[in-house]
Amino acid sequence: MMKKLLEIKDIYAEAEGNEILKGLSLTVNKGEVHVIMGPNGAGKSTLVNVVMGHPKYKVTGGDIYFEGEKITDLKTDERARKGLFLSFQSPEEVPGITVEGLLRSARSAATGKPLKLMAFRKELKEKLELLQFDESYATRYLNVGFSGGEKKKNEIIQMMMLNPKLAILDETDSGLDVDAVKIVSSGVNKFKNPENAVLIITHNTKILEDLKPDFVHIVLDGKIVKTGDASLVEEVNKYGFAEFKDIAINS
Ligand SMILES: Nc1ncnc2c1ncn2[C@@H]1O[C@H](COP(=O)(O)OP(=O)(O)O)[C@@H](O)[C@H]1O
Ligand SMILES: [Mg+2]
């Protein structure tokens, strides 16, 4: 039986008076991997921020449901506690806060409970091993001198340690090197199970070779204009997003 995890129903959203999402609907069931593609400025990041309840965006129509419960009006931390996760790539270097430190506060915030440090450390060590990340990584200061690949490790480790029901990854930087691509795809493959789901925004078709998404959605001008299986990626590679514009105009 299909188990609905996230249901976005005809959502409209704006930021600073700009209408960005214009009637977007999307359903994600447990056990599924969804990929969202679309040109710059289509509204992909807005969509995932609206799902997380980012205060910068105002929902002007439609609703969002998570496990059957309406979450449209919940605050971000309440959504996080329900099992929603959006990887945040803090671009700034934060000397004084380690990777582990950030994970600890994120975990406490997500569970709303004090952290059991020994158990947490043990779990972190296991996850680092599983992902074949060096243990020393956890004690490094956040983003200080981090390469692109190390920033990716940070995102994947966050996802693993918070173990959300729905993990959303917004791959804003398209210039991932081969190693970073592998970090993301192998991380997602190790994370996914029949009880959770992954929603990933990417331009990177290399990631998709390892990831094998169940559904690919094309977003144009604040709406999903086409949904297909992994073969849709080939279409995008060959023809770009231009051919989908006609669909958008006629819908
Ligand atoms: N906070 C904001 N205030 C005003 N406009 C915004 C804001 N965030 C995004 N936009 C605009 O909304 C459109 C979609 O942006 P975004 O969701 O970031 O697109 P994508 O992630 O698909 O590249 C863009 O035109 C962008 O300028
Ligand atoms: Mg974006």
**Backbone angle region of 43, left / alpha / beta, with phi > 0 → left and psi within -120 to 50 → alpha:** left
Residue nearest atom 5 in ligand 1 by C-alpha distance: 15
pLDDT attached to residue 249: 58
Task: Report whether 180 contacts 11 (CB < 8 A).
Answer: no
Q: Tens digits of per-residue pLDDT, 165-191?
A: 999 999 866 567 788 888 889 999 999
Structure tokens at 142: 């956040």
pLDDT attached to residue 150: 83
First-to-last CA distance in the chain? 31
Ligand 1 mutation target, pool 35, 44, 46, 173, most atoms within 8 A of CB: 46
What is the 111 CA–ligand 1 centroid distance (Å)?
Answer: 30
pLDDT attached to residue 91: 61
Sheet holding 18-29, edge to edge: 18-29, 4-15, 58-66, 69-70
pLDDT-flagged residues of the chain (< 50): none
Residue 85, phi then psi, degrees to nearest 5: -140, 130
pLDDT attached to residue 121: 95
β-pair type (166-170, 197-201): parallel
pLDDT attached to residue 236: 87
Nearest to 250 by CA among 230, 229, 220: 220
| Ligand 1 pocket check for 87: Cβ under 6 Å | no
pLDDT attached to residue 247: 64
pLDDT attached to residue 128: 93
Rounded Cα gap, residues 90 and 96, in angstroms:
14
What is the 211 CA–ligand 1 centroid distance (Å)?
Answer: 27
pLDDT attached to residue 210: 86
Residue 242, phi then psi, degrees to nearest 5: -55, -45
